Chain A
């Protein structure tokens, strides 16, 4: 761990990667690497956040991200509490504001929020004095996913991100994973490509720092990594796609595509995967796949995020 002692984390919240400087990202990923080491020990727990409280406020279904934050908090000895949609008062017509104020009254150090509305995390951050982690808001941002993706890539690429190229494949328009990754990868000097049917591209994409393709064969040529996105089946019902078989014929990442990429190409997927729809079986299970590394990286990265936010006011810093 080669952390600069003069560095200070200045953010109350982690709402989006756009708020981070290159130095913030380096520091956070270094810290995550040191926590990754804890995760490989026989006893995977340290007392670092003993006495701190982390609330997991998940208004949208999520097993993976919630579990990842839960494990991350517990490995640092924080007390973690879950408030899921079915268990919360939001089902009884309580506004987000009132639920948030109720949570705050319980005195948490950090609230992790997952919410179907873009901007929900920012709304909480403005309202509450505790640290807010955006665990995914609508189509907007999923900063810990982008950070853990870069953490995973760093394990194979080292610090040589600049000049590499990465293709994000699939439903960009409705993907917070894509938005956050475009910003973060661009910040780190990666040349980002997008490939999707035009119906799944966001408005204004021509002004993003990316190259856009509609043909997968051309999009994967000479890339260093491919990030597949999960296709939500409701996109077809909304009339954005003719049928899923046609989607898979055009956009499912297969072995023949990877032959066009760099030999050491890596494949990422935020999960859960639709095998055969956006990623073929053979690729999902191939050595090039970082999917399971991403899960491990998720815990380490979220440990770093919880640590930085929960200890921000404690004087010292990592």
Chain B
């Protein structure tokens, strides 16, 4: 059975896309070839064609915190948001530090979303994420884990970090490191600076992120092994990563749409919706991060989708947990950056698809013959408002709630099958 998507816009040009089964056959300029007899036709006039995105950093909360999100709701939000694959972090309860937990996650995904989006669990780097002993990484890899991370619980112990990098390298697992010096600014609620001083809340300097990133990069160079720096939030860390790359270190890095769009002023009035880890920093950090994703110093975008129930964010700043949901909004938010001229359509495909696939060895669609038929159509002009009726995650803890966004995913195919 062949499918022909006609008159879609791809990298500024009108194209026709021919799909056979779960594979791409060809992508050609619109109208150059007639669709084969019997093809199913889909007129995509006015819509932008993108490969399905990969989100290498999400929290789907199952097992253990299903009131915030579960694998079924998280994958639905992913599908609706344009993501064909997500990598879920290990800070569940129980922690994903054993093959049984990984297999449970994959089973939940298979039952609720047999045709995708695909779930790639990330193995806990240490047992219970406690930062004391290494988790059984080979067992976790065999069960289906795609990477390893102690996300949410920064690794203080450099000796342990080194051994995890070495051991994981044998298994072709990349370490995703949450860089934060847990003692510098312990008890922080936001970035340390003018705003924290005025609000009278404990701040965290960006130095703690940059110092740990520098440590990771030096270890990676010393060992000749790769390391991936999670959710970079500051210019200082960008500078450290650029330095590592200039030395030829195998360092890759990610940041999130919110660090490209917001700064610490979002915390004004003790706005718990803007509390996130690492914290939103200064406008100059936001600008440096925009340059870094454009220039490739930061390799990929991730959402760090971190759902929390409404009542958890309702309260004082110190009561509220850190984190934003992201799967529902990421494409629209970053499409906004394309509209602003900060990024190009090709940049989005690199940052959300090709680069994460290369770093984590996942299949991806480059629209070449034989590539997986994973793609979505975006209405570049649809204006919509994130809210209960328009979001698919169980939680809606995002500072963009209620704001008018432009650009929305309209249809999504995975493995040649239309999800919606």
Contacts and interface: CB of A to CB of B under 8 A. Distances in A.
A118 B192 CA distance: 15
B311 A95 contact: yes
A140 interface: yes
Contact of A122 (B197, B270, B311, B314): B270
Contact of B270 (A95, A118, A176): A118
A141 B197 contact: no
Which of B193, B200, B269, B311 is the most central at the interface, judged by chain A CB atoms within 10 Å of its CB? B200
B314 A97 contact: yes
B60 interface: no
A80 B198 CA distance: 32
A119 B194 CA distance: 16
Contact of B316 (A96, A202, A205, A208): A96
B193 A204 contact: yes
A266 interface: no
A312 interface: no
Which of B193, B197, B269, B314 is the most central at the interface, judged by chain A CB atoms within 10 Å of its CB? B197
A62 interface: no
A118 B311 contact: no
A298 to B, nearest CB: 21
Contacts of A139: 200-201
B203 interface: yes
A207 interface: yes
Contacts of A123: 270, 315-316
A84 B200 CA distance: 23
Contacts of B203: 203
A193 interface: no
A141 B200 contact: yes
B270 A119 contact: yes
B197 A118 contact: no
B402 to A, nearest CB: 16
A87 to B, nearest CB: 20
B200 A140 contact: yes
A140 B316 contact: no
B410 to A, nearest CB: 37
A120 interface: yes
A202 B197 contact: yes
B166 interface: no
A117 B187 CA distance: 12
Nearest to B317: A119
B194 A120 contact: no
Interface string A116-150: 01111011000000000000011111000000000
The number of chain B residues touching the other chain, given as a range, is: 20 to 34
Contacts of A119: 199, 201, 269-270, 316-317
Nearest to A18: B198
Which of B192, B270, B317 is the most central at the interface, judged by chain A CB atoms within 10 Å of its CB? B270
Interface in A65-113: 95-97
Contacts of B192: 203
Contact of A95 (B196, B199, B314): B314
Contact of B199 (A97, A120, A140, A207): A140
B317 A117 contact: yes
A120 B198 contact: no
A179 B200 CA distance: 8
Q: What does DSSP make chain B's interface, helix, strand, loop or mixed?
A: loop
A115 B316 contact: yes
Interface in B298-357: 311, 314-319
A95 B270 CA distance: 17
B90 to A, nearest CB: 28
Nearest to B203: A203
Contact of B315 (A95, A140, A179, A202): A95
B316 A117 contact: yes
Contacts of A96: 315-316, 319
A118 B200 contact: yes
A118 B318 CA distance: 8
B315 A203 contact: no
Nearest to B198: A204
A286 to B, nearest CB: 31
Contact of B319 (A117, A141, A203): A117
B100 to A, nearest CB: 32
Contacts of B195: 204
Contacts of A203: 192-194, 196-197, 203
Interface string B170-203: 0000000000000000000000111111111101
B320 to A, nearest CB: 10
Nearest to A123: B316
B370 to A, nearest CB: 55
A207 B200 contact: no
A138 B316 CA distance: 11
B269 A117 contact: no
A51 to B, nearest CB: 32
A98 to B, nearest CB: 9
Contacts of A208: 197
Interface string B128-152: 0000000000000000000000000
A138 B200 contact: yes
A207 B198 CA distance: 10
A205 B192 CA distance: 12
The 4 closest A-B pairs by CB, nearest first: A119-B270, A140-B200, A139-B200, A204-B194
Interface of B: 192-201, 203, 269-270, 311, 314-319
26 contacts: A95-B319, A96-B319, A97-B315, A115-B316, A117-B316, A117-B319, A118-B200, A118-B317, A119-B201, A119-B270, A119-B317, A137-B200, A139-B200, A139-B201, A140-B199, A140-B200, A140-B201, A141-B200, A179-B198, A203-B194, A203-B197, A204-B196, A204-B197, A204-B198, A205-B197, A207-B194
Given A95-B311, A97-B315, 17 more contacts: A95-B314, A115-B316, A118-B200, A118-B317, A119-B201, A119-B316, A122-B269, A139-B201, A140-B199, A140-B200, A141-B200, A179-B200, A203-B193, A203-B196, A203-B203, A204-B193, A204-B197
